[in-house]
Structure 1
Amino acid sequence: MTAIDTSVLSRAREQVLDGGVGLGERDLVEVLRLPDDQLEALLALAHQVRMRWCGPEVEVEGIVSLKTGGCPEDCHFCSQSGQFSSPVRAAWLDISSLVEAARQTAATGASEFCIVAAVRGPDQRLMDQVAEGVRAIRAEVDIQVACSLGMLSQDQVDRLAALGVHRYNHNLETARSYFDRVVTTHTWQERVDTLRMVAAAGMEVCCGGIIGMGETLEQRAEFAVQLADLAPDEVPLNFLNPRPGTPFADLPVLDARDALRAIAAFRLALPRTILRFAGGRELTLGDLGARQGMLGGINAVIVGNYLTTLGRPAESDLELLAELKMPIKALSATL
């Protein structure tokens, strides 16, 4: 076993670190199976890959929910689904609050602010409110605006691009082979179709998912390769935070070592991509794990709270970045 493990790290060093080409599915499975005594070496290699192909800068982002809860879809991890008995209830945020949230996000040094809505896809009312919000933010706050509004039509993609939306988030959530165990009200391909329209319209593509929803290591590797095939600009890595009332409420929290192996594996699959710490990292990894993740391939963070769960205080993440001497990516570099 040790000889095999050593060889996969050697292959990764040559192919990914030296050549900038991501690992394939078979090698990623080996990476995900590495024993604990090789975890430190794996994380060190992933960090070298990040530094070589992405540089030392860290992109900081804040998110806010424009429309919370009441979603008709049945994503089994999500407390915003109207099909489950979770405690989240539908609510809308007004434009002035949206602008203030963007202002507070920019004050942390963030270069990206994402407007999120819990919907299958936006209706006319939501599109109009998003348009009003984007215009208001761009008029008052010096920050890039991203959106995450579910599945889109071509007309909606074109409208967001015309508004100047910089990046669009639509997560695939998990491997294609496991998707119907996570969502049954729409398909994996429907999500891919939206992402391809977004890319064709010139917006940056943000697409990731959630680790620890019962998928196998093989499916975790499959997911990383499927993301790499889409060539996203950013991949947010979430870790399941089991929410009361959802079908995944009783799933165990992912072991921190498995989470770190996943972070490194995704970096070795996507050497040139923004890899963002997202939801569930606080529960799964804690403060020490956050440090290890930043030194194991991560080069972006969401600061503050998430959509329905609490995150680390923004100050804690910013202090960690300063301690690790990782500069925050400046807004001017993203324009």
Structure 2
Amino acid sequence: MTDILTRARSKVLEEGAGLAGPELLEVLTLADDRIPELLELAHQVRLRWCGEEVEVEGIVSLKTGGCPEDCHFCSQSGLFESPVRSVWLDIAELVEAAKQTAKTGATEFCIVAAVKGPDERLMAQLEQAVAAIHAEVDIQVAASVGTLTPGQVERLAAAGVHRYNHNLETARSFFPQVVTTHTWEERRATLELVRAAGMEVCSGGILGMGETLAQRAEFAAQLAEVEPAEVPMNFLDPRPGTPFADYPVMDSADALRAIGAFRLAMPRTTLRFAGGRELTLGEIGAERGLLGGINALIVGNYLTTLGRPMEQDLDMMDRVQLPIKALNSAV
């Protein structure tokens, strides 16, 4: 059998077709000395099928903490003894956060809420927030407020939500080890509703939660089946008070192999650096990721963890000579 990267060069780079699960497992088990070769191929794939621009996004939490779900990685669950407590932002605060995000050159601003799904109060506030942001800020608005009903999906689309995030989180076979209060299938169903309503689908997850390499390959293949416009790539940042608090930080070489594998699974998808990249990869690893398949990143802080100052990420993109995606090319 020919080498996996030789096959990937033909199938992914030349034809634009993603690798399947067994092929992705081969990528994830490549020796450390082949990681540079993998990342170079992944970078060529993203340049050919996505272009060279990097999409920058800021996120803000409308409702933080007090969530009734038991996602074992998340300090926002009300079921764990974590230091995060329930907080709500008002519309003016959201508009100001969107303005600050736009100043970085970001084209996307995502409003997030720690809920299983939105109630009427949250839906109404979200609709008002999107309208207020669009009235004052030249930026696209995304949302992530949990599981949706068909009616809620239609309302968000009508309000002008550009993209909806609902992470599958991990492989279907591993999901019950991570969440027990809802199912992987429920998450997938929301993504289908979002696509049918005309919003862009954003779905990713967290790597390094104890999944096997085979399950990591399974997860990438299952995400590819959803055909998301964007995949946020998070790496576990063990949070105090959660069931995963004592888990080890993911090995940086494994993280880089995963970045390459996800790009080879989804050649046309926006792969976004998200939570945990600072802890798992550091500065040099992040630069390698941007030159190894990643073509978007969240700047500033995350929902319950600190990111890097926005200026540092913008400087990093300048060093690796990658242009920031402009709003007029994203609309």
Note the C-alpha offset of 1:149.
0.2
1:298-331 deviations in whole A, cap 9, x for unaligned? 0000000000000011111111111212111111
Residue correspondence of structure 1 range 307-322 to structure 2 within 5 A: 307-322=303-318
Note the C-alpha offset of 1:93.
0.5
Note the C-alpha offset of 1:333.
1.1
Counterpart position of 1:52: 48
Secondary structure at the counterpart of residue 238 of structure 1:
strand
Counterpart position of 2:180: 184
Note the C-alpha offset of 1:16.
0.4
Out of 77, 84, 87, which is 1:81 matched to? 77
Note the C-alpha offset of 1:51.
0.6
| CA distance in structure 1 between the partners assigned to 2:201 and 2:8 by the alignment | 26
Note the C-alpha offset of 1:155.
0.5
Counterpart position of 1:258: 254
1:208-227 deviations in whole A, cap 9, x for unaligned? 00000000000000000000
Out of 160, 171, 175, which is 1:175 matched to? 171
Q: Does 1:164 align with 2:195?
A: no
| CA distance in structure 2 between the partners assigned to 1:334 and 1:256 by the alignment | 31
Out of 14, 18, 21, which is 1:22 matched to? 18
- The one-letter code sitting in structure 1 at the alignment partner of 2:156 is L
Residue correspondence of structure 1 range 1-335 to structure 2 within 5 A: 7-335=3-331
Identity of aligned residues (%): 71
1:266-325 deviations in whole A, cap 9, x for unaligned? 000000000000000000000011101001100000000000000011111111111212
- The one-letter code sitting in structure 2 at the alignment partner of 1:223 is F
What is the number of equivalent residue pairs in this alignment? 331
- The one-letter code sitting in structure 2 at the alignment partner of 1:118 is A
| CA distance in structure 1 between the partners assigned to 2:135 and 2:5 by the alignment | 49
Flag structure 2 segments of 5+ consecutive residues without an equivalent: none
| CA distance in structure 2 between the partners assigned to 1:291 and 1:238 by the alignment | 16
**TM-score normalised per structure 1:** 0.98
- The one-letter code sitting in structure 2 at the alignment partner of 1:197 is L
Note the C-alpha offset of 1:191.
0.3
Secondary structure at the counterpart of residue 3 of structure 2:
helix
Flag structure 1 segments of 5+ consecutive residues without an equivalent: none
- The one-letter code sitting in structure 1 at the alignment partner of 2:229 is D
| CA distance in structure 2 between the partners assigned to 1:97 and 1:268 by the alignment | 39
| CA distance in structure 2 between the partners assigned to 1:124 and 1:33 by the alignment | 47
Note the C-alpha offset of 1:334.
1.5
The ranges of structure 1 where at least 4 consecutive aligned residues each deviate by more than 4 angstroms after the TM superposition are: none
| CA distance in structure 2 between the partners assigned to 1:31 and 1:81 by the alignment | 34
| CA distance in structure 1 between the partners assigned to 2:10 and 2:123 by the alignment | 47
1:175-195 deviations in whole A, cap 9, x for unaligned? 000000000000000001100
How well do the aligned residues superpose, as a CA RMSD in angstroms? 0.7
Note the C-alpha offset of 1:119.
0.1
Secondary structure at the counterpart of residue 301 of structure 1:
strand
1:121-176 deviations in whole A, cap 9, x for unaligned? 00000001111111100000000000000000001000000001000000000000
